[in-house]
């Protein structure tokens, strides 16, 4: 018999996996001709990860979206979480409706729990006591497996912002440069459009 526990955290965002495994068994010699066996084994596992349904869903969607977001784009400006619109400042595809920090910290999650229980037993009878039936053995076996799976998803609304007028001669920068219009307040609330 034995029991084991496995715990793993991800290196990106809020990923968690843990699993318990157990096994126990017993063999009993009831008499010279009668024996019994019982084995119980199973596991219980929980997997938690962020719920990301921007531009579809999948186990690696969060990583792929983060990988394709340009590193020169800030996650937020003046407390406003930004869309990933890039130099054009317009939406080209649904994947741009993404902000890693917002999706990691808003509490949305996907949680899967599963458990498996296996029970097996047998009863062995040996007819060795009879001259006629000597060598004949009779076995009664029983086994049962019980499996359960449960999945939960929790999603909420969040707001991301488009910075309407940006710095630079091409209106493509997120930080000020020399020659920018000093009369315009780039960080004013009116310059951020919630989507």
Q: What span, in angstroms and rounded, lies between the C-alpha atoms of 29 and 73? A: 72
The per-residue pLDDT for range 14-67, each reduced to its tens digit, is: 789 999 999 999 999 999 999 999 999 999 999 998 888 777 777 777 778 888
Evaluate if residue 73 carries a pLDDT over 90: no
Q: What span, in angstroms and rounded, lies between the C-alpha atoms of 109 and 18? A: 16
**Which two structure tokens, joined as six digits, stand for 187?**
């960080």
- Distance between terminal CA atoms of the chain? 57
Evaluate if residue 161 carries a pLDDT over 90: yes
Q: What is the pLDDT of residue 24?
A: 98
Evaluate if residue 105 carries a pLDDT over 90: no
154 DSSP 8-state letter: E
Q: What is the pLDDT of residue 71?
A: 81
Which residue's structure tokens are 């707001």? 159
Task: Please give the full DSSP string across 39-95, using - where no structure is assigned.
Answer: EEEEEEEEEEEE---TTS--TTHHHHHHHHS-TTS-SEETTEEBP--GGGTS-SSGG
Q: What is the pTM of this model?
A: 0.69
Q: What is the pLDDT of residue 14?
A: 76
Instruction: Using the Cα atoms of residue 193, residue 81, residue 157 and residue 110 in order, give the sign of their dihedral.
Output: positive
**Which two structure tokens, joined as six digits, stand for 182?**
């000093």
Residue 87 falls in which region: left (phi positive, over 0), alpha (psi -120 to 50) or beta: alpha
108 φ, ψ to 5°? Answer: -70, 140
**Which two structure tokens, joined as six digits, stand for 137?**
């053995």
Evaluate if residue 145 carries a pLDDT over 90: yes
**Which two structure tokens, joined as six digits, stand for 179?**
């020659």
| Residues 78/187, Cβ–Cβ less than 8 Å | yes
């Amino acid at each position: 018999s034995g029991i084991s526990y496995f715990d793993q955290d991800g290196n990106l965002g809020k990923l968690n996996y843990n699993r318990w495994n157990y096994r126990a068994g017993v063999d009993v010699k009831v008499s010279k001709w009668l024996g019994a066996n019982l084995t119980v084994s199973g596991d219980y596992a929980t997997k938690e990860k962020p719920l990301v349904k921007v531009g579809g869903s999948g186990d690696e969607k969060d990583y792929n979206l983060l990988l394709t977001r340009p590193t020169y784009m800030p996650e937020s400006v003046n407390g406003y979480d930004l869309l990933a619109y890039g130099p054009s400042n317009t939406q080209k595809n649904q994947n741009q409706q993404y902000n890693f920090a917002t999706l990691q910290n808003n509490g949305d999650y996907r949680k899967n729990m599963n458990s498996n229980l296996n029970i097996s037993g047998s009863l062995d009878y040996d007819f060795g006591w009879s001259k006629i039936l000597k060598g004949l053995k009779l076995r009664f076996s029983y086994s049962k497996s019980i499996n359960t799976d449960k999945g939960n998803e929790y999603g909420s609304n969040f707001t991301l912002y488009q910075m309407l007028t940006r710095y630079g001669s091409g209106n493509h920068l997120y930080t000020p440069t020399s020659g920018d219009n000093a009369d315009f307040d780039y960080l004013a609330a009116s310059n951020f459009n919630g989507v």
